[in-house]
A and B are shown apart, each in its own frame.
Chain A
Amino acid sequence: MTSNKSPTTEPASTRRPKSSSGAAGVREFAAEIGFARVAFNLLVVLLLGLLFWTVLDLPPQSAGLHAKVKAHMHVSGVASPITAVLLNFRGYDTLLEIVVLLLASIGCLILRDAPQSHPALAPGRPGKWVLDGMIHVLIPVMLLTAGYLLWAGDHAPGGAFQAGAVLAAAGFLLVLGNRMRFWRTPEWLLRLSLSFGMIVFVLVASVVTILTKNLLQYPENYAGILILLIEISVAGSIGCVLITLFAGHPPVTRTPAADQLWHSNDEPKE
Chain B
Amino acid sequence: MNDFYLAVSAFLLVNILVGLVRILRGPTPPDRMLMAQMFGTTGVGILLLLSEAMGLPVLRDVALLFALLGALATVSFVRRYWPVEFAEEESKE
Question: Is there contact, CB below 8 Å, between B61 and A158?
Answer: yes
Interface string of A133-167 (1 = CB under 8 A from B): 01000100110010011001000111000100010
Question: Is there contact, CB below 8 Å, between B80 and A121?
Answer: yes
Question: Is there contact, CB below 8 Å, between B61 and A157?
Answer: yes
Question: Is there contact, CB below 8 Å, between A149 and B61?
Answer: yes
Interface string of B54-93 (1 = CB under 8 A from A): 0000100100110011011001101110011010111000
- B interface residues, how many (CB within 8 angstroms): 23
Question: Is there contact, CB below 8 Å, between B61 and A152?
Answer: yes
Interface string of B1-44 (1 = CB under 8 A from A): 00000000000000000000000001111000000000000000
Question: Is there contact, CB below 8 Å, between B79 and A121?
Answer: yes
Chain A: minimal CB distance from B5 (Å) = 20
A178 to B76, CA, bound (A): 12
A19 close to B (CB within 8 Å): no
Question: Is there contact, CB below 8 Å, between A169 and B83?
Answer: no
A123 close to B (CB within 8 Å): yes
Chain B: minimal CB distance from A225 (Å) = 24
**Contact residues in A for B75 (Cβ distance below 8 Å):** 131, 134, 173, 176-177
Question: Is there contact, CB below 8 Å, between B61 and A166?
Answer: no
Question: Is there contact, CB below 8 Å, between A166 and B29?
Answer: no
User: Mind listing 13 A-B residue pairs with CB under 8 Å?
Assistant: A8-B28, A8-B29, A118-B83, A120-B90, A122-B86, A123-B79, A157-B58, A166-B68, A166-B69, A169-B68, A172-B76, A176-B76, A176-B80
